[in-house]
Amino acid sequence: MLRRFEDGEADLPEFYQVIEESLEHLRPWMPWVAEHGPETTREFVAGRAERWESGQEYTYAVTLDGAIVGVCGLFRREDTPEDGREIGYWLHPSATGRGLMTRTVRAVVEEAFRLPGVAYVEVVHDTANHASGAVPERLGFAVHRTRVGEPLAPAETGEDRIWRLTR
């Protein structure tokens, strides 16, 4: 299931615990893990409602049997054209391997294309992050381009693959 984060701090203790349990699984690929702590998690949760209301980012808690097991966000970067959106995601390690994120991203893509003026959705991942790239591949995204930059997390090569699905 997908749901919004609760307004306020209702989700904070559970969400913090999920991140804590996922740290070593996320650290290779997610730059924010290096800064992770109670305060960064509090800020993340506290900022969701405002970003949702403004249309800046729709952040979904991914749940299994009512428990939070990951996150999937639909957002637009400052330098992304108006008609583009990006999807980012992660799962608790115990929730991987069963197609949950592929189903989640399929649903979030449908939501994206319900927004007025959204023409395409992208997934961006380091070329070494095969599990991440397999998600858009399963969903029929096409490789749009490759971008060479700096590695931001320990396992990254710095080369990003950008997958795109057009409405």
Ligand X SMILES: CC(C)(COP(=O)(O)OP(=O)(O)OC[C@H]1O[C@@H](n2cnc3c(N)ncnc32)[C@H](O)[C@@H]1OP(=O)(O)O)[C@@H](O)C(=O)NCCC(=O)NCCS
Between CA 50 and CA 37 the distance in angstroms is 21
Stretch that binds ligand X, among 35-43, 55-63, 114-122, 134-142 (CB under 6 A): 134-142
> How many Cβ atoms from other residues are within 10 Å of residue 23's Cβ?
12
**Rounded to the nearest whole angstrom, what is the least distance from the CB of residue 26 to ligand X in the complex?**
5
User: Residue of minimal CB distance from ligand X?
Assistant: 99
- 61 contributes a contact to ligand X by CB under 6 A: no
Between CA 89 and CA 77 the distance in angstroms is 15
**Which residue of 69, 135, 161, 164 would you call a contact of ligand X, by CB under 6 A?**
135
Q: CA-based Rg of the chain, rounded to a whole angstrom?
A: 15
**Which residue of 18, 19, 26, 108 would you call a contact of ligand X, by CB under 6 A?**
26
- 98 contributes a contact to ligand X by CB under 6 A: yes
Helix (H) or strand (E) holding 135: helix 130-138
Which residues, 6 or more positions from 131, have their beta carbon under 8 angstroms from its beta carbon? 96
Determine the size of the site formed for ligand X (CB under 6 A): 21
Interface ranges with ligand X (CB under 6 A): 25-26, 29-30, 89-91, 96-102, 125, 129, 131-132, 134-135, 138
